[in-house]
Amino acid sequence: MMITPKSISRRHFLAGAAASSLLLGKVNSVVDGVTIGAQSYSFRDRSLDDAIKAMSEIGLGECELWQGHVEPKGLRGKELTTWRETVSLDEMVKVRKKFDAAGINLYAYNYSFRDNFSDKEIERGFQMTQAMGVKIITASATVSVVPRIDPVAAKYKIRVGFHGHDHTEQPNEFSTPESFAKAMNGRSKYMCVNLDIGHFTAAGFDPVDYLEKHHDRIVTLHFKDRKKNHGDNLPFGQGETPIKEVLQVLKTKKYKIPANIEYEYKGADAQAEVAKCYQYMKQALG
């Protein structure tokens, strides 16, 4: 049989799925029907293996994998592009197996497309994601790169959730409802939203209202607590983000959208702080 990029991608996807089906001892962090997980960026101070260990010890069974836990440290520019374009997809299968062994569901891969990405670099992100056996990419992308992403997402049938910040003064960055609409309107169903409720609040918008209106296009939610008007990132319960209200909407409306902790405020230890965030969310649901 002739080996093509498509057949390689499918082979790796099936390998990841088969490994997942054999998984025993899954970590369960579903609370009142709401799946609580973490963006592994929360553990950016440690290796992937140590991040997985921390999630397992906290009891979080769902992960959105930050690309910084996959890509080699220190690579920049052309060297990083070359790595992305040439790394063996077997390495991505190995990443998936680490999560399977820990009983953690790898739900999405965070691969942030930018305007300077080559076409091959863009497509490679989808091939990596497929090799990991997942169907969602989250991306801190530019609005202007979306037309290049959409046809590739449709080709691989992988949804891309664009992640917003509170940079409302930068029109090419995702931050407002209008910027998300610009990415989705007139494009395929694979163009979606990764709503960060903390950044959305800091930018001056209501994440509860947006969730209720656009839940069908939201692939993940990032949970952090920030003050309004571009305010500080604070421990859960100290900011103005409607964390409890968003969780109650997920619970009562039965939206199957993961609620992923993204720890960014200043704390003593990432594992201890993420554990506190998890406890806060469980209490908010209870």
First to last CA, the chain: 55
Rounded to whole angstroms, the Cα distance separating 111 from 138 reads 6
C-beta of residue 94 within 8 angstroms of C-beta of residue 124: no
C-beta of residue 137 within 8 angstroms of C-beta of residue 126: yes
Rounded to whole angstroms, the Cα distance separating 139 from 152 reads 14
pTM over 0.85: yes
C-beta of residue 176 within 8 angstroms of C-beta of residue 203: yes
Rounded to whole angstroms, the Cα distance separating 50 from 13 reads 25
Class of domain 5-20+32-285: alpha beta
- Mind listing the pLDDT tens digit of every residue in the chain (286 residues)? 334 444 445 555 444 444 443 445 899 999 999 999 999 999 999 999 999 999 999 999 999 999 999 999 999 999 999 999 999 999 999 999 999 999 999 999 999 999 999 999 999 999 999 999 999 999 999 999 999 999 999 999 999 999 999 999 999 999 999 999 999 999 999 999 999 999 999 999 999 999 999 999 999 999 999 999 999 999 999 999 999 999 999 999 999 999 999 999 999 899 999 999 999 999 999 8
C-alpha distance from residue 275 to each of 26, 58, 60, 79, 271 (Å):
18, 6, 9, 36, 6
How do the domains of the chain map onto residue ranges?
5-20+32-285
Question: What residues contact residue 97 under an 8 Å CB cut-off, 6+ apart?
Answer: 19
Q: For the chain, where are the alpha helices, taking DSSP H only? A: 5-21, 48-58, 77-86, 90-102, 119-131, 146-156, 177-184, 197-202, 207-214, 243-253, 270-285
Nearest by Cα to 62 from 42, 45, 46: 42
C-alpha distance from residue 196 to each of 152, 199, 220, 224, 262 (Å):
24, 6, 8, 8, 9
